[in-house]
Structure 1
């Protein structure tokens, strides 16, 4: 069962996108390292979209 999440429209993610050095932007970036919702979100993406997200946010596998 796929649970819906709001990672695409997350306000903290938007803060990071607008200003990665802002407090909430940095908090969001730290948060995705262990967030189960983010991990599930990443699993729902197709390979191309996942690769784009990994590249955009410099995520290490």
Structure 2
């Protein structure tokens, strides 16, 4: 299950995670649950990074 979370955050690995899950005969529902949860975490992290970068850019714009 950890590989699904790791694969979500590293672009080139993302395409190979379902293949590896199939090769190792991972059950359907645990894979889907891990995939869904990792997608929620991935999107939250991306939004958080974007928000922090926006706040930083706004602060730099005011200081300069």
Max Rg structure: 2
Highest RCO, 1 vs 2 (Cα 8 Å, sep ≥ 6):
2
Q: Would you tell me which structure has more helix in proportion to its own residues?
A: 2
